[in-house]
């Protein structure tokens, strides 16, 4: 069937409707890896779904690739391939750059290979809310959420003219490059403040040592995400869950994922340090607006606001010690009671004030950059919604799918995979279904 049968008009351009299956293997080839994810850390030059995040393949220092160690196969990545996550964070994708060309993909990664313009467009399209909602319909969860290559092959998508794809690709690439630059700059600003702290803390001066309870007020959060009530229209406050603190590039968050009623007796003001733990250490952020912690998150408020930065970096420097105070599986249960006895280095008042003056501008710069990153994320999401709206179909992924994208625990209550493949299950209006009839 000719893919030209379906067309979507948007402004002065025409976007035709097609699918990987319609285009055929001559134009778009698909395959997946064959190495088990559990063996990825043991084999040099392997990319697993764990490292496909934020539209790129992250650096994998453990799996240093050595030329000639793995013979080429169907699972060998090439430059300009699209690596698509098939397990857990289903549908997330990354363009393969020269850095990872020649690496081998695991079973959890699907590989889409076509001319660069088509691959770049599919990378953009898979991020749209409509594509995410469509993929969500066919997710299975026998053990963990999974989507098949067959679903990706049969999913309808609009294909704009080459000049439109190039314009979108340039726009999204610039957004991602700017986000990456801002994130790295913010990270280095905080790393510099860490270095200043270490220089102060390990100087030859005989600093005093105090327990955390003597220099700050501590309170353990309560409740869980499941127990949260729907927040009123106003007023509401951010709610901090343990996983919202994990793996932050810097200890600053412009807004948290959850919100709830703004209860004065439970909410903590800006400047409060929020801390959670995992087996890899403590995970910390400083509030820039009022928020309420949930269970296994401890709110730490220094007795003097001017001690905030010293206290923050002291806690960061004692990450392993703090994790040792936690209980439960993977050291995820931390409480104010356990933290009270933590011994920290506490310089004299003048030295703490001097450190506050030095570290403050670095944190202000990091906070500004994090705020700009959030603005760029909002811009990117608006563009993705606009792409869905241009074809007349703006669908939103389910709450479960949206939470999955941020690392939320995934429920087993997933719709069963659809059996029929008539085009009517795709969510596209009747006028766009002819390609499957």
pLDDT for 437: 36
pLDDT for 394: 61
If you average pLDDT over each of 41-55, 201-215, 337-351, 409-423, which comes out highest?
Answer: 337-351
Average pLDDT over residues 408-434: 31
- For residue 156, pLDDT over 70 is answered with yes
Span of 292-296, 334-338, 400-404, 407-411 with lowest mean pLDDT: 407-411
Confidence of residue 253 (pLDDT cuts 50, 70, 90): very high
pLDDT for 359: 98
DSSP-assigned beta bridge partners for residue 13 = 10
Residue 18 is inside which H or E element, if any?
strand 13-18
Span of 229-238, 248-257, 400-409 with lowest mean pLDDT: 400-409
Q: Which residue has the higher pLDDT, 376 or 7?
A: 376
Confidence of residue 347 (pLDDT cuts 50, 70, 90): very high
pTM metric for this prediction:
0.81
pLDDT for 157: 94
pLDDT tens digits, 294-314: 999 999 999 999 999 999 999
d(CA 360, CA 354): 10
pLDDT for 395: 64
Average pLDDT over residues 283-292: 95
pLDDT for 410: 28
Are 355 and 197 a contacting pair, CB within 8 Å? yes
pLDDT, the chain, mean: 84
pLDDT tens digits, 164-217: 999 999 999 999 999 999 999 999 999 999 999 999 998 867 899 999 999 999
Which residues, other chains included, contact 249 with Cβ-Cβ below 8 Å and sequence gap of 6+?
183, 186, 187
- For residue 408, pLDDT over 60 is answered with no
Record the tokens describing residue 4, joined without a space: 């030209």
Average pLDDT over residues 91-98: 94
Confidence of residue 121 (pLDDT cuts 50, 70, 90): very high
Are 189 and 365 a contacting pair, CB within 8 Å? yes
Q: Which residue has the higher pLDDT, 429 or 332?
A: 332
pLDDT for 167: 96
- For residue 428, pLDDT over 70 is answered with no
pLDDT for 178: 97
Q: What is the DSSP string of 176-235?
A: HHHHHHHHHHHHHHHHHHHHHHHHHHTSSS--EEEEHHHHEEEEE----GGGPPPPPSSS
Q: Which residue has the higher pLDDT, 120 or 37?
A: 120
Q: Which residue has the higher pLDDT, 165 or 233?
A: 165
Span of 56-65, 340-349, 393-402 with lowest mean pLDDT: 393-402
pLDDT for 274: 98
Q: Which residue has the higher pLDDT, 32 or 419?
A: 32
Long-range contacts of 98-103 (CB under 8 A, 24+ apart): 99/57, 100/47, 100/57, 101/77, 102/45, 102/65, 102/67, 102/72, 102/76, 102/77, 102/78, 103/45, 103/46, 103/47, 103/63, 103/65, 103/76, 103/77
- For residue 366, pLDDT over 90 is answered with yes
pLDDT tens digits, 21-63: 999 988 999 998 888 877 666 677 888 888 898 888 887 755 4
Average pLDDT over residues 119-128: 96
- For residue 432, pLDDT over 60 is answered with no
């Amino acid at each position: 069937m000719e893919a030209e049968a379906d067309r979507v008009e948007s402004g002065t351009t025409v976007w035709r409707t097609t699918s990987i299956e319609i285009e055929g293997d001559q134009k778009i080839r698909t395959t997946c890896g064959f190495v088990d994810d559990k063996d990825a850390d043991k084999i040099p030059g392997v990319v697993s779904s764990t490292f496909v995040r934020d539209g790129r393949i992250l650096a994998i220092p453990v799996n240093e690739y050595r030329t000639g160690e793995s013979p080429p196969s169907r699972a060998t990545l090439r430059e300009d391939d699209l690596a698509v996550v098939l397990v857990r964070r289903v549908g997330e994708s990354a363009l393969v750059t020269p850095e990872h060309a020649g690496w081998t993909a695991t079973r959890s990664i699907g590989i889409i290979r076509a001319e660069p313009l088509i691959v770049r467009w599919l990378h953009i399209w898979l991020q749209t809310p409509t594509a995410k909602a469509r993929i969500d319909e066919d997710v299975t969860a026998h053990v963990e959420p999974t989507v098949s290559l067959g679903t990706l092959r049969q999913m309808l998508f609009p294909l704009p003219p080459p000049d439109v794809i190039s314009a979108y690709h340039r726009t999204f690439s610039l957004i991602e490059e700017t986000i990456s630059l801002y994130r790295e700059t913010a990270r280095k600003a905080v790393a510099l403040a860490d270095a200043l702290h270490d220089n102060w803390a390990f100087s030859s001066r005989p600093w005093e040592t105090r327990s955390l309870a003597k220099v700050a007020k501590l309170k353990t959060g309560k409740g869980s995400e499941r127990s949260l009530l729907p927040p009123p229209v106003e007023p509401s406050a951010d709610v901090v869950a343990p996983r919202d603190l994990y793996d932050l590039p810097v200890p600053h968050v412009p807004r948290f994922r959850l919100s709830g009623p703004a209860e004065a007796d439970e909410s903590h003001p800006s400047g409060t340090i929020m801390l959670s733990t995992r087996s890899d250490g403590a995970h910390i952020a400083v509030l820039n607006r009022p928020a309420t912690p949930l269970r296994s998150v401890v709110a730490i408020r220094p007795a003097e606001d001017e001690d905030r930065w010293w206290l923050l970096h002291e806690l960061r420097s004692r990450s392993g010690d703090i994790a040792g105070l936690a209980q439960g599986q993977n050291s995820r249960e931390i409480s104010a009671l356990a933290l009270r006895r933590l011994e920290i280095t506490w310089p004299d008042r003048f030295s703490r004030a001097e450190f506050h003056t030095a570290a403050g501008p670095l944190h202000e710069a990091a906070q500004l950059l994090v705020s700009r990153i959030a603005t760029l994320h909002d811009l990117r999401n608006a563009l993705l919604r606009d792409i869905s709206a241009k074809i007349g179909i703006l669908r939103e992924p389910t709450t479960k799918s949206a939470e999955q994208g941020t690392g939320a625990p995934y429920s087993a209550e997933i719709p069963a995979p659809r059996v029929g493949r008539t085009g009517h299950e795709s969510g596209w209006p009747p006028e766009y279904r002819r390609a499957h009839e």
